[in-house]
Amino acid sequence: MRSRDKMNDNYATDNRIMELFDTWFDPCPLMDTPLVNGLLIDWKDRTYVNPPYSKPEVWVDKAIAENKRGKLIVMLLRMDTSTKWFKKLQEHGAVFLWINGRLRFNNLKPANFPSMLVILNRKVEG
């Protein structure tokens, strides 16, 4: 998963996770096309995000902004409670689901880090 020089961010979601969100909007595959940037478009009401692991904070900021607009967002992230982006999610009221064991990206060898699903529930203004 990690080379000596840099981390490769281009890993498909583990099949077990993808089955849960296969009908959800995913803005990250769009970053591979020069015409669409998933950070610059509106996300759908139910959005699943598997962002690049090397730069998740911009995706976390976008997810929080979209969630404030009433959208349900689920993110697959590296489990790291020591980061600024984790604190932002925590302060926003995210629900964290730790994944037992290591995911297999592209169904190959296990990741060398633990993962989590982060849920940003729809906000009800009241």
**What is the pLDDT at residue 3?**
33
Average pLDDT, the chain: 84
**What is the pLDDT at residue 15?**
79
**What is the pLDDT at residue 54?**
83
How far apart are alpha carbons 5 and 54 in whole angstroms? 13
Q: Are 88 and 62 in contact (CB under 8 A)?
A: no
Structure tokens at 105: 């990206």
**What is the pLDDT at residue 118?**
98
49: nearest Cα among 90, 13, 99, 95: 13
- Please provide the DSSP assignment of 9-48 as one string: ---PPPHHHHHHHTTSB-SSGGGGSTT--TTTSPPPSEEE
Q: Block means of pLDDT (10 residues each) for the chain, length 126 residues?
A: 43 81 86 73 96 91 97 96 97 94 74 90 64
**What is the pLDDT at residue 1?**
27
